[in-house]
Amino acid sequence: MQHILYMTVGLVGGVFSGIFGIGGGAIMIPALVYMFGLTQHQAQGTCLAILLPPIGILAVLRYYQEGHVNWTMAMFIALGFVFGAYFGADWIQAVPGPQLKKVFGGFLLVLGLKMIFLK
């Protein structure tokens, strides 16, 4: 039964990723923390582990079919992302879980408010 819930979180995260272009973390990390009791660090690590296989390949293919993928830009951003993710993951390990949860929530709040109220 638990596996069905995990797949449901992945499905919802994938749907929102396909619709809004978000990484799914905005959906999956809160779900992992509040539905499954993971710590913020565990939720973020688990969410990053989801990125390892090419899970987004079908969504990318669909966007590509409509001419909405800039491959050059994507490759250079991915290269930067690889190194940035490593250093970010290394740095964040020293931040206490409750503080990390607040920073993550604040980030989503500020981002959401900016998108709602600014052009």
* pLDDT tens digits, 53-84: 777 888 889 999 999 988 998 899 889 888 98
Token pair for residue 71? 């491959």
Residue numbers of the domain that contains 92: 2-117
| pLDDT computed for residue 23 by the predictor | 67
- Core vs surface per residue 5-15: b (16+ CB within 10 A) or e: ebeebbeebbe
Give residue for tokens 């990053």.
48
Domain count, the chain: 1
Tell me the pLDDT tens digit for each residue of 102-112. Answer: 999 998 999 89
| pLDDT computed for residue 25 by the predictor | 80
Q: CA angle, corner 53, sides to 95 and 51, nearest 5?
A: 30
